[in-house]
Amino acid sequence: MKFNKTARQVKGLGLCSGGLDSILSALLLQRQGIDVTWICFETPFFSSESAQKASSHTGISLIKMDITDEYMEMMKNPKAGFGKNMNPCMDCHALMFSKAGEVLKNQGFDFLFSGEVLGQRPKSQNKNSLRYVEKNSGFDGQILRPLSAKLLSKTLAEQKGLVDREQLMDISGRSRKIQMQMAQDFGVKEYPAPAGGCLLTDKIFSNRLKDLMDTQKIFNTRELHFLKYGRHFRLDSKTKIIAGRSKNDNTHLLNYFDKDKDILLKHVKLPGPDVILTGNATPENIQTAAGICAGYTKSKPGETAKIRIIKKETEDFITVITVPASNFKNLMI
Domain with CATH 3.40.50.620 in the chain: 11-199
CATH number of 11-199: 3.40.50.620
Residue 223 to residues 182, 287, 313, Cα–Cα distance (Å) = 42, 22, 22
Predicted confidence at residue 36, as pLDDT, reads 98
Higher pLDDT, 301 or 8: 301
291: enclosing H helix or E strand: helix 283-295
Residue 329 to residues 89, 232, 256, 306, 325, Cα–Cα distance (Å) = 32, 10, 24, 22, 7
Length of the chain in terms of residues written: 333
C-alpha span between 64 and 83 (Å, rounded): 26
pLDDT higher than 50, residue 3: no
Q: For residues 290 and 249, is the Cβ–Cβ distance under 8 A?
A: no
The strand pairing partners of 332, in sequence order, are 233
Q: What is the DSSP string of 73-126?
A: HHHTS-TT---SSS--HHHHHHHHHHHHHHHHHHHT-SEEE----BTTSTTTSS
The strand pairing partners of 118, in sequence order, are 172
C-alpha span between 230 and 157 (Å, rounded): 48
Residue 68 to residues 43, 84, 104, 124, Cα–Cα distance (Å) = 5, 21, 20, 21
Q: Where are the alpha helices (DSSP H) in 170-239?
A: 177-186, 203-215, 221-226
C-alpha span between 217 and 167 (Å, rounded): 50
Across the chain, mean pLDDT equals 94
- Calculated CA dihedral for residues 234, 235, 241, 245, nearest 10 degrees: -50
Confidence tier at 302 by pLDDT (50, 70, 90): very high
The 10s digit of each residue's pLDDT in 10-65 is 999 999 999 999 999 999 999 999 999 999 999 999 999 999 999 999 999 999 99
For residue 57, the Cα-to-chain-centroid distance in whole angstroms is: 22
C-alpha span between 232 and 258 (Å, rounded): 17
Contact residues for 21 (Cβ-Cβ < 8 A; gap 6+): 115, 116, 117, 120, 147, 179
Mean pLDDT of 295-323: 96
The 10s digit of each residue's pLDDT in 249-259 is 999 999 999 99
